[in-house]
Structures are given as structure tokens and as C-alpha cells.
Amino acid sequence: MKGLIHNFVIAFYAIIIAATLLYITYAGYSYYSQPLSERVFHDLHTTLKPSGLYGHGFGIIGSLFMVIGVGIYMLRKRVKTFHRLGVLKYWLELHIFLCTMGPILVLFHTSFKFGGIVAISFWSMVAVFLSGILGRFIYMQIPRTIEGNEIGISQLIGEGNKISEALSAKYDIDDSLLNKLNLDKIISNYRGIGIKDFFTRIIADKKEMVAFKKEMIANIGSKNVSRTEKKSISKLINTKYTLGRKIGMLNLMQKLFNYWHVAHLPFALIMLIIMIIHVGVSIVFGYTWIF
């Protein structure tokens, strides 16, 4: 998937999620904002209650989104037969989209009324959703190829060296200036620090990076470098700082990702098991939708 198409797909996912959330909130606000005891008298009660036309539909569609989102990603990731079906990164993004839409729709299905065994499933869903956001952040800190495979430290250092070589060869930047963009120095800033100091270090690096860019642009200002080329130089500097951060934090992030799996999967299983029980009980007691 090319960069422009990929960006379009991500934007499409974001727009659908935002539009769905805003539209349902806007259309049903007068109902959902009513006390539970008074909703039965509201004009929208017959359609937005959990067993209503829309309310029930939210639950069914939201549950399907989550089951499909989890199912297709697990198949693509764990079953060898499916390994050749597209890039894992894109399947993960589809998984995130479906497993964000699902909880939103299920939330409106409940009409913000939680109780009984279903409450366990709901809060497990919330835990899965929130831990998924955390997991995505950790996942992004572990360097990967476009296929989603982890990259080794030696390969990352090689990428960092290529950036310095490109800056030196293509833009004729002084070695004394390039030495300030030392990968080992950036790595050492992050190696051994904990999560507590992680964001403080990023902010400090951002300030350092801005100052370095200004110095480098000033250095090449007399070399007839175009504005587009200056943007390319800035992008290369950003990439090198990012590489250094990811190398320095690699061991910590890999450990956190392993711990994250231990927490994320049980909540997902609890949610799915209770959701299946809930659906089964609803069918037994005759709660049908449009079928």
C-alpha cells in the first residue's frame, strides 16, 4: 500500500469513528441524558433502548466488529497460511479500527446502563480498549519493517549511519557538525531510563533537535540548497533522533510488550466469553432484532 493511499485509509478510519460517535451522540443526546427512570417516557425509548431497533442493532454490529477485528488479526498473525495475505501492519490498523468502532457501538447499545454479569463483559471491554491504546504506543516504539517484523539493533545502527552518509555526501555538510548528530549519544540518553523519565527525555531531545536543525540550516545556507532539500534534511535528522530513541529503549519496550500481552489477552477472553453467554441468553429469551 503506497504512502498516499495508506494515509487516505487511516484518515478514512478516523473520520468514520469520529462521525459515528458524534452523530449517535447528537441524535440520541436528549434520550441518553435523561435519568434512567424517565427514559421510558421519551419518544426515542422504543428505538434506543438496548432491545430497541437501533439500540439492539448497535450491540449486534458492535459485537461483530470486535469478533471480526480480533479474529482476522489473530489469523493473519498466528496461522502460517495467512502470512502472505498483506502486510501485518495494515491488518493491525484494521484490527484497531474495528475494535474501536465495536466498543463505541456497544456503549450506546447499553444506553449507559451497566449491571449483572454483562457489566463484567463491558468493563473487560473497556480494559481491552484502553490496554489496546497502550499496546499500540509500545508497539510503535519497537522498530519494525513495513511488513511488521522487528528490526535488530545492528540493522538500526546501519540505518543511522546511512543517514549521516547521505547528509555528508549529498549536502556536503561539515564533519564537525555531523559529529553532533552522534547516534551513540542519542542512544545513551535513553538507555537505562524508565517510563517516568521517558517523556521528559523526549521533550529535551525535541528542543535539542530544533536547535541542531537551525545550526545545520545556517551551515548550508550559502550552498544554494532549495527549500525542498532543507525539508529533506530536517526529515533525515528527525529519523536519526527517532532511531536513537528506539534503539536506546528497545529492551525496555520489548519487555513491556511481553507484559502487555499477559494483561490484554485475558481481558479479551473474559469479554468474548461473557458476550457469547449474553447473546445466547438473549436468543433463548426471544430477543430478536430485524430477523
Domain boundaries in the chain? 3-36+47-149+256-284, 153-252
Instruction: Tally Cβ neighbours within 10 Å of residue 103.
Output: 20
Q: What are phi and psi of 150, to 5 degrees?
A: -65, 145
Q: Letter for the amino acid at 228?
A: T
pLDDT score of 151: 60
What distance lies between CA 271 and its chain's CA centroid?
20
- Give residue 19's pLDDT band: very low, low, confident or very high (50, 70, 90): very high
The amino acid occupying position 195 is: I
pLDDT band at 223 (very low <50, low <70, confident <90, very high): low
**pLDDT tens column, 158-207:** 777 777 777 776 666 666 777 767 777 777 777 767 767 777 877 887 88
Grid cell at residue 74? 489473530
Question: Among all chains, which residue has been given the C-alpha cell 525542498?
Answer: 228
Q: Is the pLDDT of residue 1 over 60?
A: no
How distant is the alpha carbon of residue 194 from its chain centre? 22
114-126 pLDDT per residue, tens: 776 767 777 787 8
48-62, 112-126, 216-230: the lowest-pLDDT one: 216-230
Angle at 43 between CA 38 and CA 45, to 5 degrees: 60
User: Is residue 111 helix, strand or coil?
Assistant: coil
